[in-house]
Amino acid sequence: MNNFKLVWSVKSECGPKRKKNEDSVYPNKSGSGKTPFKAGVFDGMGGHKKGEVASSIAASVMKLELENIEDYVTKANEEIIISQNNNADSEGMGTTMTAVEIDNDGVLNIAHVGDSRCYVLSNRQLIQLTDDENVPGFQNVLLQALGTTKKLDVQRKDFKLSKGCVVLLCTDGLYNEFGEEYLKKKLLEGISADTLISEVLLQQPKDNVTAIIINVV
């Protein structure tokens, strides 16, 4: 499969219970195009100073042209630590990062740190491709995040896509509100990120909510 077409939709909302949106997303606009294609979701650490700055730094790194998907996580981590060192009020900021690149062979390359998620809908089955990195028994406490350590243990996974597959990247503000059966149903219906987030907001979520939906057409 060479240079196949993708259609993606993007949405990020603060939600009714938070004062600011600490999530970031790349790209930040819906669109369509051909491979190669990069995308990512980033959840700034709630309760920490400048969580929105950390997630924004990670998202901006996705604009670079680096050799492989894991390099984006490493670079983002480095840039966040540099920002902390240069700004006293940014000390302690951090973010999750779930980044993907779809190459010209139709392979979804994933690099992941934290508890945002990457799902793929393939053959009418919804598969979670990332593992949540939370302290056992403490859903909101991360084992690691960008900005908290110089050396990260980055999760890496590849998945061969085919025409009709759907990739969902989301922060925990989305999957904490909806179970996987609901998400599967909606993705099978061809829902957009904008509509999905609108449905989440009806649940009065406690957290920021972000999603990217990528359709292989």
Rounded CA gap, 71 and 154, in Å?
10
Domain count, the chain: 1
pLDDT band at 61 (very low <50, low <70, confident <90, very high): very high
Domain that holds residue 136: 5-216
DSSP H stretches of helix in 1-129: 51-61, 69-86
Q: What is the CATH number of the domain that holds 174?
A: 3.60.40.10
**pLDDT tens-place string over residues 65-124:** 999 999 999 999 999 999 999 988 888 899 999 999 999 999 999 999 999 999 999 999
Q: What is the pLDDT of residue 1?
A: 47
Q: Which two tokens stand for residue 9?
A: 């939709």
